[in-house]
Amino acid sequence: MFDIVTVGHFAIDYIHSPRIVSPKPTLGGPPAYVSLAAAKLGSNVSVISKVGEDFSNDYTKWLKNQKIDLSWLKRIRGASTTQFAIKYQRGWKRKLQLKARAPPISANDLPDFLQAKAVHVAPIANELSEELVMKLRKTTSILSLDPQGFVRRFDREGNVSLQHWKGQSVLEQVDVYKSSLNEIEAVTGTANLQLAVRKIADHGVKIVIVTRGMRGSKMLFDNTFYNISAYSSKIVLDPTGAGDAFSGAFLAEYVRGKEVLWCACVGSASASFVVEGVGPERFGEREETYERAEEIYEKQSKD
């Protein structure tokens, strides 16, 4: 029995920004950021993912040293790992270009005896199917979703734009939903944040969270809207993976039965460490994450 199992592709990212002069291959993808954030808080974590022959043994060794179980990671002969070129512009606006994609993860790839307190579904390149989500629902009491990979469209050059996703049947299976502001607009078809959040909740989702970068997060739980502040990091080097870290830390506390508002504050705190490094190199230890979370908790407000 794992605390959290993340399902989706690992990635190799090439991150460009005004503060990253020479981009280099960087480990990425939700299985990395979600798992690392949760493991730092003491959770027992695993992943279900596929990579190619280009996925470095250094990555797997490092992940194992960080207490990430890789028993269900499949390295596919002749395939490439999912790769993105990530270019940040002024105001940290992001452009994505898909350079390579690993094979999809199907329902047949799930282990026979998977059990987890929480399963986090996190596609990045349309690699997961509705059938897979339905099967995952039977393995856990908490199904969490980040729909980013479901709403992405890729042109011939791999450039990423957002498209509407008809995911009603998937949303009806979900307990916890987390996405960015742009992504929830793509899912629901509305730019009104509160209306979009309520549309997600109308599918039976218990907790809906929308991350908004340095403007913090909006959360709907028990018919109440909460504003979760972002921690003011002294330096922002790379926001890649911050939303995934939020999910990992949130779920780590949620499966322990902690107050939902506190869980969101811990998620925000974890994300604040990630932006201070490049890729997944910077995560706070448990006590310093809780220290930042306490500061955020004092600043939260209701709508």
138-171 pLDDT tens trace = 999 999 999 999 999 999 999 999 999 989 999 9
- Residue 181 CA to residue 197 CA, distance in Å, equals 10
pLDDT at 156 (0 to 100): 96
Quickly tell me which residue has 């709403």 as its tokens: 151
Judge contact between 162 and 183, C-beta under 8 A. Answer: yes
Average pLDDT over residues 242-259: 98
pLDDT at 124: 98
Confidence (pLDDT) at 23 = 81
Categorize the per-residue pLDDT at 89 as very low, low, confident or very high, splitting at 50, 70 and 90: confident
Mean pLDDT of the chain: 95
- Tell the burial category of 97 from Cβ atoms under 10 Å away from its Cβ (0-12, 13-18, 19+): middle
CATH number, domain at 72? 3.40.1190.20
Q: 79 CB contacts (<8 Å, ≥6 apart)?
A: 50, 51, 52, 53, 102, 103
Domain interval for residue 267: 2-302
**Is residue 37 within 8 Å of 249, Cβ to Cβ?**
yes
DSSP per-residue string spanning 101-139: -PPPB-GGGS-TT--EEEEEE--SSS-B-HHHHHHHHTT
Direct distance between the N- and C-terminal alpha carbons of the chain, in angstroms, rounded to an integer = 38
For residue 30, pLDDT beyond 80: yes
Please count the structural domains in the chain.
1
Residue 22 has pLDDT above 90, yes or no: no
**Arithmetic mean of pLDDT, 74-83:** 97
Max CA separation in the chain (angstroms): 52
In the numeric block, the tokens 């939902």 are attached to: 260
Instruction: Using the predicted structure, report yes or no on whether residue 19 has a pLDDT greater than 80.
Output: no
Average pLDDT over residues 36-46: 98
Residue predicted with more confidence, 55 or 89:
55
